[in-house]
Structure 1
Amino acid sequence: MRREEQRPEQADHPAGAAVDPSGLMDLLGVAAVLLEADGRIDMWSPQAEELFGYSGGEAVGQYAASLLLHPEHQDEVITLFAEVMETGRGWAGAFPVRHKDGSTRMIEFRNMRLTDNLGDHYALGLATDRNTLRQVEQKLALSNRLVTQAPMGLAVLDTDLRYLAINPALAAMHGVPEAAHAGRRFREILPGEPFQGAETVMRHVLASGIPVVEQQVVGRTAADPDHEHAWSLSVYRLEDHHGQALGIATVVADVTDRYQAAKKADQAQQRLRLMARSSARIGTTLEVERTARELAEVVVPDLADMVAVDLLDSVLQTGRTDPEEGPALFRAMAVKTAYPTDAAQAIVPPGRLTTYHADHPASHCIRTRRPVLITHLDTGELSRVAADPEAARLLARAGVHTDMAVPLIAREQVIGVMGLARARNPQPFDEDDLTLACELASSAALSIDNAVLHQRIRSAAETLQRSLLPQLPPRRPGLEVAARYRPAEAFHEVGGDWYDVIALGGDRTALTVGDVMGSGIPAATAMGRLRTATSTLADLDLDPARILTHLDKITHGLDPYIATCVYAVYDPHSAQLHVASAGHLPPVLVRADERPELLDLPTGTPLGVGGVPFETTTLDLKPGDRLVLYTDGLVETRHDPIDERLEELLGLLAPPDRSAEETSDRLLRQLRHPAGHDDVAFLVVCAQPFTTGPAASAPEPR
Structure 2
Amino acid sequence: MRDANPLGGSEAVAPDPADPATVVVDDRGVVTGWSAGAERLLGYPCQEAVGSPVTRLIASDDGTGDGLAALSVAATTALLRHRDGRPVAVRVRAYPSVDGAGRAQRLLVVTRPEPSPPEEVSGDEPPEEVSGDEAFVQCRLPLMVYDGALRAVRASAGAVRELGLCEERMRGQRVTEILPPHLCRRVEDGMGRVLATGVPEELRLRGRARPDGPERVWSVTISPLVTPAGQVRHVEVSALDVSEQFLARERLTLLNDVSAQVGSTLDVMRTAQEMADVTVDRLADFVTVDLLDSLFRGVEPKQSATGMVLLRRAAQQSVLPGTPEAVIRPGDADAYPASAPPVRCLATGRPSLHTAEEEAIRLWAGADPDRAEKIYGFRMHSIMVVPLRARGITLGVSVMVRHRRAEPFTHDDLILAEEIAARTAVAVDNARRYTHERDTALALQRSLLPRRLAAQDAVEVAHRYLPARTRAGLGGDWYDVIPLSGARVALVVGDVVGHGLRASATMGRLRTAVRTLADVELPADELLTHLDDLVTHLAAEEDSTAGHEDDLDPGADLVATCLYVVYDPVSRRCTAASAGHPPPALVGPDGPADFLDVPPGPPLGVGGLPFETVERELPAGSLLALYTDGLVQNTGHDLGSGLARLRRLLDGAACRPLEELCDDLTRMLLPPQPEDDVALLVARSRVLDAGRVATWDVPFDPARVADARTQALARLEAWHLPEAAFTTELVVSELVTNAIRYGQPPVQLRLIRDATLICEVSDASGTAPHLRRARTYDEGGRGLLLVAQLASRWGTRHQPGGKTIWAEIELAGQDA
* TM-score in terms of structure 1 length: 0.68
Tell me the equivalent position of 1:661.
Answer: 659
Equivalent residue number for residue 680 of structure 2: 682
* Counterpart contact for 2:563–2:577, Cα < 8 Å: yes
Q: 1:288 to 1:211 in 2, by over 3 A?
A: closer
Q: Name 2:336's counterpart in structure 1.
A: 356
1:445 match: secondary structure: helix
Instruction: Select 1:647's aligned residue among 605, 623, 644.
Output: 644
Which residue is 1:336 aligned to?
317
Which protein is bigger by CA-based radius of gyration?
Answer: 1
Change (3 A) 1:145 1:581: closer
User: Superposed, which structure 2 residues align to 1:240-251 within 5 Å?
Assistant: none
Whether the 8 Å contact between 2:309 and 2:343 is mirrored in structure 1 is yes
Aligned to 2:287: 307
Residue number in structure 2 paired with 1:111 = none
**Offset of residue 650 of structure 1:** 0.6
- CA separation of 1:344/1:597 partners in 2, compared to 1, >3 Å: closer, same or farther? farther
Q: Distance in 2 between matches of 1:506 and 1:216?
A: 87
| Residues 505 and 338 of structure 1, relative CA distance in 2, 3 Å threshold | same
* Deviation, structure 1 residue 382: 5.2
400-409 vs 561-570, which deviates more? 400-409
Matching residue's letter, 2:258: S
Q: Secondary structure at the match of 1:418?
A: strand
Within 5 Å, give how 1:130-209 maps onto structure 2: 138-140=127-129, 142=131, 145=134
Q: CA deviation at 1:543?
A: 0.2
SS of equivalent to 1:476: coil
Aligned-pair CA distance for 1:468: 2.2
Q: Match of 1:316?
A: 296
Say whether 1:563 aligns with 2:560.
Answer: yes
Q: Answer yes or no: is 1:391 the counterpart of 2:375.
A: no
Q: Is the 8 A contact 1:370 1:406 kept in 2?
A: yes
1:133, CA displacement in angstroms? 7.5
Give SS of 1:450's match: helix
**Is 2:534 the partner of 1:534?**
no
Give the stretch that moved more between structures: 520-529 or 625-634: 520-529
CA distance in 2, matches of 1:423, 1:317: 35
Change in Cα spacing, 1:561 to 1:328, as seen in structure 2 (3 Å) is: farther
CA RMSD of aligned residues (A): 4.3
Rate the CA distance shift 1:548–1:378 in 2: closer, same or farther, 3 A: same
> Which residue of structure 1 aligns with residue 241 of structure 2?
259
Out of 230, 250, 254, the position equivalent to 1:274 is 254
Q: Name the counterpart of 1:87.
A: none
Could you say what secondary structure the match of 1:318 adopts?
Answer: coil
For structure 2, the residue ranges without an aligned partner over 5 or more in a row are 1-118, 228-232, 540-556, 694-751, 759-791, 794-807, 809-816
Gaps of 5+ in 1: 1-129, 240-247
- CA separation of 1:689/1:153 partners in 2, compared to 1, >3 Å: closer, same or farther? closer
356, 364, 380: which one pairs with 1:377? Answer: 356
Q: Which amino acid aligns with 2:604?
A: L
CA contact (8 A) 1:194 1:219 kept: no
Question: Per-residue CA shift, 1:192-236, capped at 9, x if unaligned?
Answer: 66786599689989x9999999888864569x9578696969799
Q: Deviations over 1:347-392 (max 9, x none)?
A: x322112222223332122111111223x43486654676833223
1:505–1:698 CA contact under 8 A, matched in 2: no
**Structure 2 counterpart of 1:60:** none
SS state at 1:580 partner:
strand
- The structure-2 alpha-carbon separation of the partners of 1:142 and 1:614, relative to structure 1 and needing over 3 Å to count, comes to closer
| CA deviations over 1:6-58 (Å, ceiling 9, x no partner) | xxxxxxxxxxxxxxxxxxxxxxxxxxxxxxxxxxxxxxxxxxxxxxxxxxxxx
Deviation readout 1:392-423 (Å, 9 max, x if unpaired)? 32243334332222222211111122222233
User: How far apart in 2 are the matches of 1:629 and 1:613?
Assistant: 22
User: For residues 154 and 537 of structure 1, what CA distance do their matches in structure 2 show?
Assistant: 93
Aligned to 2:803: none
| Alignment check: 8 A CA contact 2:477 2:678 kept | yes
Q: Of 608, 613, 621, which residue of structure 1 is paired with 2:618?
A: 621
Q: Residue type matched to 2:621 in 1?
A: G
Letter in 1 for 2:618: L
Please name the residue that 1:110 is paired with: none
What is the DSSP-based 3-state SS (H/G/I as helix, E as strand, rest coil) of the residue aligned with 1:480?
strand
Q: Which has the higher contact order (CA 8 A, sep 6+)?
A: 1
Give the 3 Å change call, closer, same or farther, for CA 607–384 of structure 1 in structure 2.
farther
TM-aligned CA deviation for residue 511 of structure 1: 0.9
Between the aligned partners of 1:636 and 1:162, the Cα distance in structure 2 is: 72
Matches of 1:203 and 1:318, distance apart in 2: 64
Per-residue Cα deviation, 1:43-90 (whole angstroms, up to 9, x for no partner): xxxxxxxxxxxxxxxxxxxxxxxxxxxxxxxxxxxxxxxxxxxxxxxx
Q: Distance in 1 between matches of 2:420 and 2:294?
A: 23
- Note if contact 1:507-1:698 (Cα within 8 Å) is conserved in structure 2: no
Match of 2:669 among 668, 671, 682: 671
Deviation at 1:274, TM superposition (A): 2.8
Stretch of structure 1 that moved more, 692-701 or 511-520: 692-701
**Overall identity of the aligned pairs, in %:** 36
2:453 matched to 1:481?
no
1:419 equivalenced with 2:434 (yes/no): no
Tell me the TM-score normalised to structure 2 length. Answer: 0.59
